[in-house]
Structure 1
Amino acid sequence: MKSTRVVFVHGAGTFGAAAWPRQHGMALDFDCLFLRRHGFDPVLEPLPTDFLADQQIVRDALGEGGHVVAASQGAVSAMMVALERPELVKSLVLAEPACLSLTQELPATAAHRARVEPLFARAADLTDAEFHREFARAVFASEPRPLMSAEDRHRARRLRMQAPPWEAPLEIVPGVPTLVLTGGWEPLYEEVAGYLAGTGAVHRVVGGGHRPQDTEEGNALIREFVRSHAA
């Protein structure tokens, strides 16, 4: 199956191959591409979220078609491509998808938005460190670790420039085989997963917090799902 394309789309943290430490080995069996979304660069200054630019990056990476594995906010552009060009997407694996446009009327998403929307509204008036600290308090109810390194500060600036995921132009779900993995720790992501399961997706709770793809079970499910739909 070496010629089978598998495209990996990261979330808001690390990017490229570093975002998928448990999936590196899939490159032995598949043609794997580990993407870097718009505005994510190890050297250049971060850029604001551009959902359409991310969609184009995923679409171009698929070439003549393949499978997409996406995490958190990366799931938004993955689903946008599957809606626009369903013939290109053979299957979708979504780890804790932040597809909040779909569920913004549901209780957990509405409560999350009520907590963090005022923070996003003030983002331009805050420093990177201030936004980073208030985001951690609002979303994780905890104090973040200090921004010690240049990489930490770069990441904090990028976080402040991210658009709220409920602003993504995503209103319906694609009709392609879909596996949703969640960590079972946060009602917000379980709500999104439940919504997707109601439209035909397979949902599995595997632990691992916001990174279920890093668990042994999550990694095995990803490999099995892609392989089964590539056969």
Structure 2
Amino acid sequence: MGAERVVFVHGSGSFGAAAWPRQHGLSLDFDCLYIRRHGFSATEEPVATGHDRDQEIVADALGGGGHVVAHSQGAVAAMMLAVDRPELVRSLTLVEPACFSLTADLPATAAHIALMAPLLAERHAMSDDDFLRAFVRRVFDADPRTPVTGDARRDAARLRLQSPPWEAPLAIVPGVPTLVLTGGWEPLYEEVAEYLAGTGATHRVAPGGHRPHDTPEGDALIRAFLRAGRHEAAA
């Protein structure tokens, strides 16, 4: 029997294998695929993302089934697939999941939506640079660097075209083993994690801000969870 498949689903920044630098070594134990979500390319102009299209990409990558590890907005499509086709998803690891449609009525998520929804409603009338500046100021209370390289300009354009995560059709959570990993820095993501923990998920916190999987602690938690899931599947 061959190695079990693990599909890695990136968030809004880097994509493919570049989004998971600490997890490359898992290829020694698993059949790892680092996908690109819809609209992400190193050469082509960005297009609007779509949760449904991302879900299809994850399903195609899983083939006959396997484990899914997803970050931020990538967690939306991963969870949608686990709800719709649980037979494909043996375990689900959600890193700082932006599954805000589940917690839209809770305080931190409601405040985030109230802050960001007006900006996203105006985004099609804004330049990529103006949207990037407004987005970073609202989310991080900082000023971004002006994009000057081709990659940076594509990143800015892609950010403006992201689908609002709170509009995703998520109303229930999957009945598959789930690890939620957060960085402990932002109440918004802790609120989502606590909600999922209340439905049976395991919630763990590791340092690292929005990318706890880049730290030794976060990486170790992901590896332990995947290996435990592999052993359970083989039992």
Using the size of structure 1 for normalisation, the TM-score is 0.98
1:60 equivalent in alignment to 2:60:
yes
1:132 equivalent in alignment to 2:109:
no
Q: Which residue of 2 aligns with 1:155?
A: 155
8 A Cα contact 1:2 1:28, kept in partner: no
* Partner SS, residue 221 of structure 1: helix
8 A Cα contact 1:184 1:209, kept in partner: yes
Q: Which residue of 1 aligns with 2:43?
A: 43
The 5 A counterparts of 1:26-175 are: 26-175=26-175
> What CA distance in whole angstroms lies between the structure 2 residues aligned with 1:80 and 1:41?
23
1:227 equivalent in alignment to 2:231:
no
Q: Runs of at least 4 residues of structure 1 off by over 2 A?
A: none
* Partner SS, residue 207 of structure 1: coil
> What CA distance in whole angstroms lies between the structure 2 residues aligned with 1:32 and 1:168?
26
Equivalent pairs counted in the alignment come to: 231
Q: Which residue of 2 aligns with 1:217?
A: 217
> What CA distance in whole angstroms lies between the structure 1 residues aligned with 2:31 and 2:107?
40
CA deviation map 1:173-200 (0-9, x unaligned): 0010000010111110000000000000
Paired-residue identity, %: 66
> What CA distance in whole angstroms lies between the structure 2 residues aligned with 1:229 and 1:163?
31
> What CA distance in whole angstroms lies between the structure 2 residues aligned with 1:40 and 1:171?
27
1:8 equivalent in alignment to 2:15:
no
8 A Cα contact 1:94 1:179, kept in partner: yes
Structure 1 residue 224 displacement after superposition: 0.6
> What CA distance in whole angstroms lies between the structure 2 residues aligned with 1:66 and 1:163?
26
* Partner SS, residue 220 of structure 2: helix
* Partner SS, residue 90 of structure 1: strand
The 5 A counterparts of 1:174-185 are: 174-185=174-185
Structure 1 residue 163 displacement after superposition: 1.2
CA deviation map 1:189-216 (0-9, x unaligned): 0000000000000001101000011111
Structure 1 residue 148 displacement after superposition: 2.0
> What CA distance in whole angstroms lies between the structure 1 residues aligned with 2:230 and 2:6?
10
Task: Name the amino acid aligned to 1:218.
Answer: G
Where does the alignment leave 5 or more consecutive residues of structure 2 unmatched? none
CA deviation map 1:85-138 (0-9, x unaligned): 101111011100000010000000000011111100110111000000000011
Where does the alignment leave 5 or more consecutive residues of structure 1 unmatched? none
CA deviation map 1:23-77 (0-9, x unaligned): 0010111100000000001111111121111000001111111000000000001
* Partner SS, residue 46 of structure 2: coil
Structure 1 residue 2 displacement after superposition: 5.2
> What CA distance in whole angstroms lies between the structure 1 residues aligned with 2:82 and 2:47?
25
Using the size of structure 2 for normalisation, the TM-score is 0.97
